[in-house]
């Protein structure tokens, strides 16, 4: 059997969206500093960029993305991972009986090896050495307008929610196919019940997935699955070099922030002995904080787009975790935005 697949991060994240939903995603992307830079050679697909991050919005009226949008609404339908050897990667997948996905490829389009993944989404295996050429040939129509900001640098991690019964299967999927390791499983307190979370990550941390499950029917994770009609990407975290600049620019751009209550900031000031001026800056920007020894972690969240996927921005200062201590704070803040139907 070929060895487990070595990855070098997320090459792209693809969203399936109607034109109306694409506009809503575009408002969030713009607020976060992304810009639409190119259009696909023949399809209704737009590439958004910032730093090393590529977001693709697919509004085609037919095909797998359209089918995905009909079932789930505007959401992440595919992820592309950068790999060294596509042939060996697909041989590993075949040996593991992982289902391959193929669809008709148009003139001039690249045929990228693809697998079925969580919740019927797709996992593309992109050749890292030829990725730049792929983008140039697949998206040759440049779009005019302001370029992206430089606040965000890479995809930090992708969080997926799934049914409790699926959890071990998808954990095995990632650890059997990819050269990743598992973190210890954590219990996170949701106002409506416990959520179990576990991450898989590669050695250089260029690829990180967090898997989240809950048996509590009214927890945010369970409500996402019920309203989304299955497992899928619940949120995406982007890395930045300066959380305060990123937050200020996002606010100026109109990002709908998840608001954090004042009691949280009183607690972290006392718990960590933080400078009151720093705490005041974090409170003004709804930034959460954690520390492990001398390592620090800053994070803020957007509200959910169409009550489905939401976004996170993080700054790591030698910190290797995911701010799990703040998850309950985030879940409580999100619980305040439930509508009468419980969504």
The vertex-32 CA angle with 288 and 296, nearest 5°, equals 30
The pLDDT score that the predictor gives to residue 275 is: 97
The pTM (predicted TM-score) of the whole model is 0.95
pLDDT in tens, 41-70: 999 999 999 999 999 999 999 989 999 999
pLDDT at 305: 86
Are 206 and 9 spatial neighbours (Cβ–Cβ below 8 Å)?
yes
Domains of the chain: 7-142 (3.10.180.10), 152-335 (3.10.180.10)
* pLDDT 10s digits, 194-211: 999 999 999 999 999 999
Tell me: the pLDDT tens digits for 298-323?
Answer: 999 999 987 789 999 999 999 999 99
* Tally of CB atoms within 10 A around 296: 16
Looking at residue 343, what is its pLDDT?
47
pLDDT of residue 154: 98
52 three-class SS: coil
Q: Could you tell me the pLDDT band of residue 217, with boundaries at 50, 70 and 90?
A: confident
CA distance 184 to 162: 18
What's the whole-number mean pLDDT along residues 249-276? 96
d(CA 224, CA 211): 13
């Amino acid at each position: 059997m070929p060895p487990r697949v070595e990855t070098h991060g997320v090459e792209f994240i693809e969203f399936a969206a109607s034109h109306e939903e694409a506009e809503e995603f575009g408002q969030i992307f713009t607020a976060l500093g992304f810009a639409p830079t190119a259009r696909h050679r023949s399809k209704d697909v737009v590439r958004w960029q910032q730093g090393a991050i590529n977001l693709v919005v697919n509004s085609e009226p037919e095909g797998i993305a359209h089918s995905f949008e009909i079932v789930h609404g505007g959401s992440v339908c595919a992820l592309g991972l950068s790999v060294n050897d596509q042939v060996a990667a697909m041989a590993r997948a075949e040996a593991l009986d992982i289902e391959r996905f193929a669809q008709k490829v148009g003139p001039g389009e690249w045929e990228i090896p693809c697998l079925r993944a969580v919740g019927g989404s797709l996992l593309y295996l992109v050749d890292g050495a030829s990725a730049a050429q792929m983008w140039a040939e697949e998206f040759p129509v440049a779009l005019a307008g302001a370029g992206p900001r430089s606040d965000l640098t890479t995809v930090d991690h992708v969080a997926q929610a799934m049914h409790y019964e699926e959890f071990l299967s998808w954990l095995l999927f990632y650890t059997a196919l990819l050269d990743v390791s598992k973190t210890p499983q954590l219990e996170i307190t949701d106002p409506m019940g416990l959520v179990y979370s576990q991450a898989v990550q590669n050695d250089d941390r260029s690829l990180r997935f967090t898997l989240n499950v809950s048996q509590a029917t009214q927890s945010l994770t369970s409500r996402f699955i019920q309203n989304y009609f299955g497992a899928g990407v619940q949120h995406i975290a982007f890395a930045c070099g300066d959380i305060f600049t990123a937050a200020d620019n996002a606010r100026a751009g109109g990002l709908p922030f998840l608001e954090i209550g004042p009691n949280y900031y009183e607690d972290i000031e006392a718990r960590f002995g933080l400078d009151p001026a720093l705490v005041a800056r974090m409170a003004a920007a709804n930034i959460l904080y954690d520390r492990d020894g001398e390592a620090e972690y800053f994070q803020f969240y957007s509200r959910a787009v169409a009550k489905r996927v939401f976004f996170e921005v993080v700054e790591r200062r030698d910190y290797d975790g995911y701010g799990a201590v703040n998850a309950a704070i985030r879940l409580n803040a999100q619980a305040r935005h439930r509508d009468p139907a419980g969504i």
